[in-house]
Structures are given as C-alpha cells and as structure tokens.
Amino acid sequence: MAEMELDRPLVRSRRLACWAVEGIGEVLPGQDLAELCREPLIRSGGLQPWDVVLVTHKVISKAAGRTIRLAEIVPGDAAVAIGHRVGQDPRMVEVILRESRAVIRAEPGVLVTETVHGFICANAGVDRSNVGGGEEVTCLPENPDLSAAGLRSAWLDLAEGGPLGVIVTDTFGRPFREGAVNVAIGTSGIPALSDHRGLLDERGYLLHASTIGTADEIAGLGELVMGKLDGIPLAVVRGFSWRGPELGAQALLRPAAQDIFRR
C-alpha cells in the first residue's frame, strides 16, 4: 500500500502566496513568449523550487498566431443555421465549429461544444475579448499541455532547476452554478489531480471518491490577482508541494461514457 501511495498524485499546502506578474505588455504573433516573460518574472520576485506559474491561454494563442480575422471567414450552411438559432454571428460560429468535435447544446444565447481537445465549454473557447476590437477572435492553443511544458522548460533555470509547475488557464462557465471561473486547460510539472481514494481520513474512514481538481483550484486562485480586464497574463503561486505522476490537464476530462450529464 505504501508503494501505491507514493505513485498517487497529491498536491499539498498549508500557506500560500500569490501575485500577478506585471509589465509583459501586448503579445504579438511570432514572439517568444517564454523570453518575453523572463524579465517580468524576475522583477516580480523571481521563481523558487515548488512555485507554480499560471499563464492565460490567450497570450499563448497570440504568440502562436492562433488569431483569426472574422472578415476572412465565409460561414457554411451549418454555421448560418446555428448562428440564427443561437443569435451569434455566423462567421464566429463557423470558427467555433472548426474548433469543435461536436455541438453539445445550441439554444438562444448558448452554444456549448466539445473542443478538438475534449473540453466542454462555451463557444469552443473562441473569444473576442482583448483582441482586435471584436473583429478578431482567438482560439485555444493547439496543445495546451505541450505549451505548458515548453514554458516550464524555458523557465526552469529561474527556479533553480525546479520542481516547477506551469498551468495554462481559461475561463469556463459551470453547470448548475452562476459565474465563470478560471480552470486549467494545460499543465506541466505538477499533477492536475489530487487523488485521495484509498487513503484514511483523520478518523480512520477509507475515502472512496475523493479526487480533487487541484490544477483548477490553483487556476481559480490566479484569476483573483490577474483580473479579467487588467491585461495581466501571468501569476505565480508559492507554497505548494506535490508528488506522483503528472498526466497533463487531459486527466481532468471525464470520459463521455462516465458522464451522466451527456447521456
């Protein structure tokens, strides 16, 4: 049992510090995002082993050229029909469909899809905010886990060789609850989940279903200091330790066969 517990992903903390990383400025297509953020990271207080850096997906998408001008989009018949049904610009819907595996819900004011990555979210993560005055949109990074891994590798020396966690974030709505929250769509260097199943609580009760989405919780903490309208794309969280395999943010996705809400 002890050997199994060592392999179990678990993230711990008793006291946290969290701060925004300012001074990065506008990110342009083709820029080296990791290099662009090095000096701001150092000026903000630097990195230490066991730090976690949160990065909003939008700056990764901008640097990678994942922006699209709506004027260049010709919507197909499906996009026109869905756009009419939900009340969205058919050009925007066309981009959403290109970024999706399946449409989950299409109702007035709501278009929820499963993205090509497997995320269930509004508009496939395609977003008009903070880019091009509404006539441009950003799409999610092609591989958020890989993006997180690249940034972690580039910043590892700032944290004395680590351990170092990097989490790529986006803002998702939540079923049954009002208000959107920041969640993890890519991770590297830190487990996305804390798995307590098979462990005993302080009263000796064996836990059967306690798996915590730790990366989502950390992402939500970062949004509080980065803000939605302040143009701050990075934050650092200090005070965690962790163990166990890192499986990327894909570990957070519930298989469709186990998702009773999609049946």
Question: Domain end: 96, 120, 137, which one?
Answer: 137
Residues 97 and 176 in one domain: no
Q: What is the pLDDT of residue 202?
A: 65
Question: Total structural domains in the chain?
Answer: 2
**150 and 52 in a common domain:** yes
Establish if 262 belongs to a structural domain. Answer: no
Q: What residue type is assigned to position 155 of the chain? A: W
185 and 246 both lie in a single domain: yes
In a domain, 119, yes or no: yes
Quick check: helix, strand or coil at residue 170?
strand
From first to last of its 263 residues, the chain has per-residue pLDDT tens of 333 454 678 888 889 999 999 999 899 999 999 999 999 999 999 999 999 999 999 999 999 999 999 999 999 999 999 999 999 999 999 999 999 999 999 999 999 999 999 999 999 999 887 666 668 999 999 999 999 999 999 999 999 998 999 999 999 998 889 999 999 999 999 999 987 666 656 666 655 567 889 999 999 999 999 987 678 999 999 999 998 888 899 999 988 888 887 77
Q: Under a CB-based contact definition with an 8 Å cutoff, are residues 185 and 219 in contact?
A: no
Structure tokens at 188: 């590297």
Q: Is residue 124 part of a domain?
A: yes
Q: Which among 137, 152, 169 is the end of a domain?
A: 137
pLDDT the model gives residue 4: 42
CA–CA separation, 95 and 93 (whole Å): 5
Please say which residue of 119, 137, 155 terminates a domain: 137
Q: Are residues 91 and 186 in the same domain?
A: no
Measured at the CA of 5, the angle between CA 2 and CA 10, to 5 degrees, comes to 150
Give pLDDT, residue 209. Answer: 61
Distance CA 76, CA 89 (A): 12
pLDDT at 205: 60
Residue 103 phi, psi (nearest 5): -90, 125
Asked if 26 and 125 sit in the same domain, the reply is no
| 49 plus 157 within the same structural domain | yes
Question: What pLDDT sits at residue 211?
Answer: 81
Query: Can you spell out the DSSP letters for 20-89?
Result: EE-------TT--HHHHHHHHHHHTT---TTEEEEEEHHHHHHHTT-EEEGGG----HHHHHHHHHHT--
Domain-embedded: residue 263: no
Q: Enumerate the β-bridge partners of residue 113.
A: 103, 121
Residues 181 and 145 reside in one and the same domain: yes
In a domain, 20, yes or no: yes
* Rounded-to-integer distance, Cα 211 and Cα 249, Å: 14
Both 49 and 132 in one domain: the answer is: no
Cα–Cα dist 113/101, whole Å = 7
Residue spans of beta strands (DSSP E) within 57-176? 67-69, 100-107, 110-115, 120-122, 136-138, 164-174
pLDDT at 118: 94
Q: Are 237 and 52 in contact (CB under 8 A)?
A: yes
Domain that holds residue 97: 67-137
88 and 48 share one domain: no
- The dihedral built from the CA positions of residue 82, 99, 68 and 133, taken in this order, carries a sign that is positive
Within-domain flag for 150 = yes
- For residue 126, the domain's CATH number is 3.90.1660.10
132 and 173 together in one domain: no
Asked if residue 261 belongs to a domain, the reply is no
